[in-house]
Structure 1
Amino acid sequence: MSGQQLVIFGSSNILSDLFDCALANGLIVSKIVLHTPEPPGERDIALHERIRQWGQHGPVPEILDLADFTPGENELYLLGPTTPTRAVLEQQLDQRFKLQFHTLIHPRAYVSPLARLAPGVFVGANSVIGPGTVLGRHVFINRGVTIGHDTHIGAFSRIQPGSNVGGLSRIGHSVTIAIGATLLERLVIGDHAFIGAGAVVISDIDAGALMLGIPAKFKKSVLPS
């Protein structure tokens, strides 16, 4: 894998994790392809600053608009944002280019050989993916996450640092499990549910529910309009 070029579609704060994982795998981040303008954020780090930092460790990636992108040779492809725009971006890329997405795993993560990972999955440092686990397309597993045995996680879901998901669970499409949340085993979590930071989930969750607290309680619906 060493020396291959990684092309990242979209920009967000998780670029730092993607850059780190690319370095650890000996990849060169060659291009960042933007599908929307970079959103301003008072406490965000601007893309140009991330690029400057990356330039201390390898070639500076080219910044392109999606309209100017053409696939090249020896390239691996990954989605950058973790927001709901990821699903729209994947659809645009599929319609235009029929790309095959890369599965990027930090070398300090453990992924059971009995797990199944779909294209576009990211697994960060010190995470553990148990046997029988199934991760759908573009699932984002951040640092220090534990996924129990035989748990299925639907496409575009994101699991934030330090979260623990029990075994034999079914996590839906586009679910967010925030920092340090814990889910007991054998649960069913509906599509687009949002589990807040530090929450402890002890029972099934309906689609689109925002769940907060210990034990986690329903606050409101966050289903996309």
Structure 2
Amino acid sequence: MKKNKLVIFGSSNILSDLFDCALANGLVVSRIVLHLPETPGERDISLQDRLAEWAAYGPVPEVLELADFQPAADELYLLGPTTPTRSVLETEILQRYPDHKLEFHTLIHPRAYVSPLAKLAAGVFVGANSVIGPGAVLGRHVFVNRGVTIGHDTHIGAFSRVQPGSNVGGLSRIGHSVTIAIGATLIERLHIGDHAFIGAGAVVISDIDAGALMLGIPAKFKKSVLPS
């Protein structure tokens, strides 16, 4: 059975990118499943406003609570939030539906380039104009935003996110749940510890310990952001 219905778990400001990428791949976003109450900030766009805009491009996705969700055979699944804490959401989903083989989709924008020698795990997203080099390995639910380059033979751990315009050199090892913010640059052959946060525009020229917040050019340690 060909699956062309995409279900997104959770809401975030990145939903428009996911919707756009789904359209570009001929998929229909059929349902958005909320696991937490939506609390949009002053400069955010609410889910209802997004849905109203999407109505011009096809059927509006159904919105429902996770407690009311039941999987269907013709669906693919994707996590909507991009924060590393979405690992908790994946665990909750899998625990709720142990008897269903939920298929997390690897969603790649048609204007991205992913080397045939790269390996992408389930749930990975790659945005428009991004390049994933040969030998790169992206773990479960890694989120690669627009205009990113990932160098050859670099490994990125599960639930990490790489924000727009970032450049990650080759032969590096990026840990689990790492954030590389907008426009950051990492030279090659680096080791970045789990849960590290590299700030916007930072230039990283040396290894980073787990949970370190790094800012500036060159990037310097500011504090630990390890989850409590």
Q: Could you state the TM-score of these two structures normalised by the residue count of structure 1?
A: 0.98
Q: Tell me which residue corresponds to 1:104.
A: 107
For 2:171, the aligned partner's letter is: L
Deviation at 1:3, TM superposition (A): 7.5
Q: Distance in 1 between matches of 2:2 and 2:95?
A: 29
CA shift, 1:154, in A, is: 0.2
1:178 is matched with 181
Cross-structure match for 1:117: 120
Task: Determine the C-alpha separation between the residues in 2 that align with 1:142 and 1:84.
Answer: 14
CA RMSD of aligned residues (A): 1.2
Q: Which residue of 2 aligns with 1:70?
A: 70
1:2 to partner: Cα distance = 8.5
Q: Distance in 1 between matches of 2:178 and 2:84?
A: 10
Map 1:1-225 onto structure 2 (within 5 A).
4-97=4-97, 98-225=101-228
Structure 2 CA distance for aligned equivalents of residues 50 and 2 of structure 1: 28
Q: Runs of 4 or more off by more than 4 Å in structure 1?
A: none
CA deviation digits over 1:24-68, x for unaligned, max 9?
Answer: 101100000000001230100000011111111010000010000
Q: Check the 8 A contact 1:9/1:35 in 2, yes or no.
A: yes
Consecutive unaligned residues in structure 1, runs of 5 or more? none
Kept in 2: contact 1:3–1:28 (CA 8 A): no
Contact 2:76 / 2:102 at 8 angstroms: preserved in 1? no
**CA contact 2:3–2:75 (8 Å) conserved in 1:** no
8 Å contact kept, 2:193–2:208: yes
- Provide Cα deviations, 1:94-115, integer angstroms capped at 9, x if missing partner: 1122412000000000000000
Counterpart CA distance in 1 for 2:227 and 2:86 is: 14
Alpha carbons of structure 1 residues 2 and 59: separation in structure 2 relative to 1, 3 Å: farther
Aligned pair count reads 225
Q: Is contact 1:137-1:155 (8 Å) kept?
A: yes
TM-score by length of structure 2 reads: 0.96
Percent identity, aligned pairs only, is: 84
Conserved in 2, the CA contact under 8 Å of 1:3 and 1:26?
no
The range that moved more, 182-191 or 78-87, is: 78-87
Between the aligned partners of 2:3 and 2:89, the Cα distance in structure 1 is 26
Q: Tell me the amino acid that sits aligned with residue 80 of structure 2.
A: G
Amino acid at match of 2:18: L
**Where do 5+ consecutive residues of structure 2 fail to align?**
none
